[in-house]
Structure 1
Amino acid sequence: MADLPDYVLDPNAVLKDENSSWRHGAPPDYTKTTTHEANSLPFLVENLVKNWEIEASFKTKLSDWRTIDEKVYTFSLNGGEKRTGHHMLEVGTYNALLSASQYYDPVKNDFDESHKSFKQMMPTFAWEVLEVYSGPPVVVFKWRHWGEMKNDYTGYNNSGEKVTVQAHGDPIDIQGLIVAKVNEKLQIENIDVWYDPMEMFNQIGKKNGCPFVKTT
């Protein structure tokens, strides 16, 4: 195991990259919540993806991302258009993973607005690997993202209207699949996320049917 890169052995590996350019001037505060057996395949996969998400959300230079093969890296949602790392740097991880709806539109919310909308609503949005179905070079696994709607949701929808949903305090729990190709260094070459983007919003607006309020 000594020859494996640190970003698959340590979920906080990239947080120690002091010389990288960070979006808010310093690494974010992340804590580990997994219980996978040390050095097992789920353990390695979970650490890789957690470190990738940290870099995608908070490192402002693609050349600083250690978890990807910068020359070939692409990202796609539900088998759609393959996007480069530069696209994700521009729009943010939330916008790359969401589609236009009555609640939200990635085109009408920039990187900072997207993070403000969801991180204020759910201060903690934990992530874990549930099952791994195949190992390198093509890694297929089931994942879970969950948190609690502690504060109101606010964002701009596909009509350009500002949407507000009152916090209900209940859990938000979404699941999906990821198919990722990695190289011999276990760097991600391409990653395809599969899930229903509306699942989160259906849970956000579950009280009283669809209790959103539009404001200008």
Structure 2
Amino acid sequence: MDRLTTIISRGLGSLLKKNMADVQEASGKAESKPALPDFYTDPNAVLNDDSSIWRFGKKPDYTKTRKVYEETKRCNHAAGSLPDLVENLVKNWEIEASFKTRLEDWRTINQERYSFSMNGKQRSSVDYMLKQGTYNAILPPSEYYSPEHNDFSVSHKTFKRMMPTFAWEVLEVYSGPPKVAFRWRHWGWMKNDYIAFNCNGEKVMAKAHDGIIDIEGVTVADLDGDMKIVHLETWFDPMSMFSQVAPNGVTKASQPESHSSAELGPEEDSVKRESATNASVVSNEIRPNMDRRSVSSAAADMPHGEMSSEGEGCPFARSS
């Protein structure tokens, strides 16, 4: 009996040691597994990049947009869940695409391989996005808007003035890395008039109605081994946005209008500029094939002395 007890004790001891070794090995593997980049765990991670060069001279302030997001979002994703991680990634990517002017400062993408496409059309490079802007990358020519007649600065001013806050959230995630497919929502309230140049080079407008602009779409993100974005393919109907902006259609804006800083909306955080430089800024940045009338009208329409750096812009192409 004593011998049997000894055998059992030795067997249990050996098994316990093996199990402990397995646990320690698994723990070691878990500890050695690289952590996710900070732009997956913090929606504002890239705003801490002090060495980056920022559009308009300083970091944007997303405080009010994040507040609107928290108060009016549909979903509450658990921290660290796949939808939460994807949401944080896209929000950081949107900040970089909208406000970082140098490719070498973008951390969320694979800088050598990155591309973007809309609705199955030709892929655009990161250089195109840096030059033309995110709104111009996703919006086709129409009676409401034209990338040909609105440069990067004018396009951002147009939409950020109209909707001082434009929040973004992930609704559903359909697949995990390395190919992440998800449905998203982008929304805000039309606080100021919509004014832009359309496909005919005409300046058009729609009066502010203070109603919600709420759009949805689907995106597939291809990620590399470092969890950086290689390609984004997005599907959504731009006309679904414009039909909410101008339910009765747009009208021609017969006279160029100059806009004071007060007209930009109380929720915009602005960077001061000398008003005398506005015309030259637009003229230098505007597309070469833009006609003289459009250039002068765009310059006259720039806000005097200020340029918005608050709020989330359109996250696809160019996320709170």
Shared fold (TM-score greater than 0.5)? yes
Equivalent residues in 2 for 1:4-43, closer than 5 Å: 4-31=36-63, 32=66, 33=69, 35-43=76-84
Deviations 1:28-59 (A, max 9, x none): 11144353110000000000000000000000
- Residue 156 of structure 1 is matched in structure 2 by 197
Query: SS state of the match for residue 56, structure 2?
Result: coil
Alignment check: 8 A CA contact 1:79 1:192 kept: yes
Q: 1:4 and 1:204 mapped to 2: Cα distance?
A: 39
Query: SS state of the match for residue 86, structure 1?
Result: helix
Alignment check: 8 A CA contact 1:92 1:111 kept: yes
Match of 2:158 among 112, 117, 124: 117
Match of 2:170 among 129, 136, 152: 129
Q: 1:119 and 1:26 mapped to 2: Cα distance?
A: 17
Higher helix share: 2
Q: 1:211 and 1:74 mapped to 2: Cα distance?
A: 33
Alignment check: 8 A CA contact 2:118 2:233 kept: yes
Alignment check: 8 A CA contact 2:169 2:186 kept: yes
Partner AA of 1:27 in structure 2: K
- Residue 45 of structure 1 is matched in structure 2 by 86
Offset at residue 23 of structure 1 (A): 0.6
- Residue 146 of structure 1 is matched in structure 2 by 187
Structure 1 residues 211, 84: CA separation in 2 closer, same or farther (over 3 Å shift)? closer
Matching of residue 93 in structure 1 with residue 134 in structure 2: yes
More relative contact order in 1 or in 2 (CA 8 Å, sep 6+)? 2
Partner AA of 1:182 in structure 2: L
The answer for unaligned runs of 5 or more in structure 2 is 1-32, 71-75, 256-320
Q: If you compute each CA radius of gyration, which structure gives the higher value, 1 or 2? A: 2
Matching of residue 213 in structure 1 with residue 213 in structure 2: no
Q: Percent of aligned positions with the same letter in both sequences? A: 57
Deviations 1:45-103 (A, max 9, x none): 00000000000000000111000001100001111111111100001111111111001
Q: 2:144 and 2:121 mapped to 1: Cα distance?
A: 21
Matching of residue 192 in structure 1 with residue 233 in structure 2: yes
Partner AA of 1:47 in structure 2: N
Q: 1:156 and 1:51 mapped to 2: Cα distance?
A: 29
Higher strand share: 1
Matching of residue 68 in structure 1 with residue 100 in structure 2: no
Offset at residue 212 of structure 1 (A): 2.4
Structure 1 residues 108, 211: CA separation in 2 closer, same or farther (over 3 Å shift)? closer
Query: 4+ residue stretches of structure 1 with deviation over 4 A?
Result: none
Alignment check: 8 A CA contact 2:144 2:250 kept: no
Offset at residue 107 of structure 1 (A): 1.2
Q: 2:56 and 2:165 mapped to 1: Cα distance?
A: 18
TM-score by length of 2: 0.65
- Residue 57 of structure 1 is matched in structure 2 by 98
Offset at residue 215 of structure 1 (A): 2.5
Q: 1:105 and 1:214 mapped to 2: Cα distance?
A: 15
Query: SS state of the match for residue 113, structure 1?
Result: helix
Query: SS state of the match for residue 129, structure 2?
Result: helix
Partner AA of 1:7 in structure 2: F
Query: SS state of the match for residue 36, structure 1?
Result: coil
The two structures, once aligned, show a CA RMSD in angstroms of: 1.3
Q: 1:211 and 1:67 mapped to 2: Cα distance?
A: 37
Alignment check: 8 A CA contact 1:46 1:128 kept: yes
